[in-house]
Chains A and B, each alone.
Chain A
Amino acid sequence: MADTHDNQVRDKQVRDRQGLDKAAPATSSHRQARAAGGAPLLDVRDLTMQFGGLKAVDGVTLQVHPGEVVSVIGPNGAGKTTVFNCISGFYQPTGGEVYFQNRAMHRLPGYRIAQAGMVRTFQNVRLFKEMTVIENLLVAQHMHAERNLLKGLFKTPGYRRSEKALMQHAGDWLERVGLLEFANREAGNLAYGQQRRLEIARCMVARPRLLMLDEPAAGLNPNETRDLDDLIVSLTRDEGISVLLIEHDMSLVMGISDHIYVVNQGQPLADGSPEDIRRNDAVIKAYLGEE
């Protein structure tokens, strides 16, 4: 079991080295998938979230297909993060439905949604700051760990194998995001950009189908943003996961998204490919104001 996994990872590394990393995003094929009406991975219908008299999210509908990078953009306070919180179960939406792999998610608590395969990051980094980098990645694999207390107490062979596989997996991801040398450093002592990368690695070791990133480029310098760009592209390409992204950095969004949803004041404003959005009058108006 552990061996096959190792091989997969090694293959991936070989492919990385063979210069596959600059392949253009396969936008056209995704567009076809969307048009052909393949089953979406995530299907959000008419999502509504009301806080007292305030409708923070009103009728947002969005879909993420397998292998896609989908972005949600909008001016500050448009309700993007609220949409995220509703989808990931941190808020109970007051209306609408969320289906993930055809399973209803909108009544489940957050941890069940994560177990189903939707893992998210937060706007402000939420690492376990006093734990070491490697421990952060081990904790993140909790749902894949051998959690039987007796097996752990007596260190049965099965338990040892499981722990070893977790370590291996964590090490692979550390290598991938370039943090291997900091493995035993406390996570809170890393530089900000490294913390951001570690947070994404921590999500990835949880083996999600859909990665939800809430402003991953916030506070990064242009170089780090470019690295992040490469990382996200490689995640969808090599790991076959989908990414749902909230971001303010327009160059990042336009560069990597297959599909963009624009939200303004809680309501859906437009959606389409990056080119469509760039040319959309309503979007320009919302961002720049009326002339």
Chain B
Amino acid sequence: MPKLAKQTLKKAGTSPAETIPPQPSYRRPWWSALAAAVLTLVLGGSVLGVQLESTGITTTVRLMGMDTWGWLLAAALAVFLHQLVRPQIEEWRARTRKPSRFSVPDVMSGQKRQLWIMLAIGALLIFPFLSNRSAVDLATLTLIYIMLGLGLNVVVGLAGLLDLGYVGFYAVGAYTYALLNSYLGFSFWEALPIAGLMTALFGYLLGFPVLRLRGDYLAIVTLGFGEIIRILLNNWTELTGGPNGIARIPKPTLFNLEFSRRADEGNIAFHEFFGIDYDPALKVIYLYLLALILVLITLFVIYRLLRMPIGRAWEALREDDIACRSLGMNPTGIKLSAFTIGASFAGFAGAFFAARQGFISPESFTFIESAIILAIVVLGGMGSQLGVILAAIAMTLLPELAREFNEYRMLLFGLMMVLMMVWRPQGLVPLKRPQMELDRG
């Protein structure tokens, strides 16, 4: 007995540095490093080192110049060296790791927080008047992605339903407006609520049979749905114009005032009404402000939903659906509501997208769009709204800033994903649990 006590004492007395479990040691760092370097060379060489050229009907493979291969060799060497010292690096990182790094200050509460939000909205309202046209255009695109990200965040981040076909709903929204306009002459404002309802209906119809599935199976079916929508739009030529798409979709108006040089019959142009010179920038600014308003409404609605019984039920369902059932919650109904509400935001975004572009075709709604929106949600930190906003900004701005790397966009995209998963797997701004005040007398 005393012996045992002594041992425990001794154990308790050891310093924490000694009790750090040994890092996984690679028995043959040389071999794994060599394998990684060869893999780099093979993959990099096949993507960057050779070029396919078609001469007549034959395709020949041409090797790239020496400098390209030099870079590839350098990259392979870098990978080799990195793999060789990786255990040491990991050990060093584990030792120097601080408990928490970048995080959004959560002291912002109450009035201070409201003040910041007001300031941010104010800045966003002033921004287009101080900036140039292309920047405003890009900001509008970013706002569309924010809206899509927020919508998908409800489905994936909160309700935990992996949806790979979200772009299908985006397409439904866009085509609803485009078709209603070209066949029945609906204006943007008349079509916007219909687009939202239409997508909600599609979400409901898809969700009804599908939400019995979970995890991977659900992902596959939604992936299929997205593709079905795109292929349907592509092939139903009589209605949708097929791959030619639908052109001449009118821009939104402001109380029937148009932002074009010459208004359509029955309408008045904005500049004529106010007696100012025609300025094409006004149209861009108006679209930006419209997108901003839509995003703010989306933010508000989702913010409220999260704090309502339905939002709590979504999160509970993501964590444990069996416990939910035992507490009298209908899992299918709750999932369906998440799916339907999430889809309707894509519908609004889609209708706005159609109005902004003036032209849509099935090509705008490929799987890569779904992937980008999903990446926004994952990068942002599942479930967190601020995270989604930051991630959407990053995902749209980075490709623009890195224009000269356009060819390697997907490579950069992949690199970013890998780095995120290594350094910040919980996302940019992980979801924080709301702290509630309990007033006890």
Contact = CB atoms under 8 A, between A and B. Distances in A.
A126 B322 contact: yes
Interface stretch (B72-80, B263-271, B279-287, B327-335): B327-335
B436 A128 contact: no
A101 interface: no
Contacts of B95: none
Contacts of A90: 322, 325-326
B163 to A, nearest CB: 21
B438 A180 contact: yes
Contact of B328 (A111, A155, A175, A183): A111
A110 B433 contact: no
Interface string B406-438: 000000000000000000000000000111101
- Residue from A149, A167, A171, A203 having most chain B Cβ neighbours under 10 A: A149
Interface in A81-128: 88, 90, 109-112, 114-115, 119-122, 126-128
Interface string A131-142: 110110011101
A26 interface: no
Contacts of A111: 324-331
Interface in A164-201: 167, 171, 174-175, 180, 183-184, 186
Best-buried of A111, A147, A171 by chain B (most CB within 10 Å): A111
Contact of A184 (B301, B436, B440): B436
Interface string A259-290: 00000000000000000000000000000000
Contacts of B327: 111, 114, 119, 139-140, 142-143, 202-203, 206
A153 interface: yes
Given A147-B309, A152-B304, A183-B438, A130 B326 contact: no
Name the interface size band of chain B.
20 to 34
Nearest to B300: A153
B58 to A, nearest CB: 59
Interface stretch (B21-29, B310-318, B363-371): B310-318
A224 interface: no
Given A130-B319, A131-B319, A147 B326 contact: no
B326 A120 contact: yes
A20 interface: no
A46 interface: no
Nearest to B433: A132
A126 B323 contact: yes
Contacts of B315: 128, 130-131, 135, 139
Nearest to B308: A152
Interface residue range, chain A:
35 or more
Contacts of A88: 326
A143 B310 CA distance: 11
A5 interface: no
Given A110-B325, A131-B433, A142-B328, A171 B438 contact: yes
Nearest to B314: A139
A274 to B, nearest CB: 28
A134 B435 CA distance: 9
Given A126-B320, A128-B323, A142 B313 contact: yes
A12 interface: no
A129 interface: yes
Contacts of B320: 126-128
Interface string B319-352: 1101111111111000000000000000000000
A218 interface: no
Contacts of B301: 153
A110 B328 CA distance: 7
B436 A131 contact: no
Given A115-B328, A139-B316, A149 B308 contact: yes
Contact of A142 (B304, B312, B319, B434): B312
Contacts of B331: 111
A140 B316 CA distance: 9
Contacts of A220: none
Contacts of B304: 152-153, 155
A142 B309 CA distance: 6
Nearest to B438: A171
A145 interface: yes
Contact of A139 (B313, B433, B440): B313
A114 B325 contact: yes
5 contacts: A111-B326, A114-B326, A131-B312, A180-B438, A184-B436
Interface of B: 301, 304-305, 308-310, 312-313, 315-316, 319-320, 322-331, 433-436, 438, 440
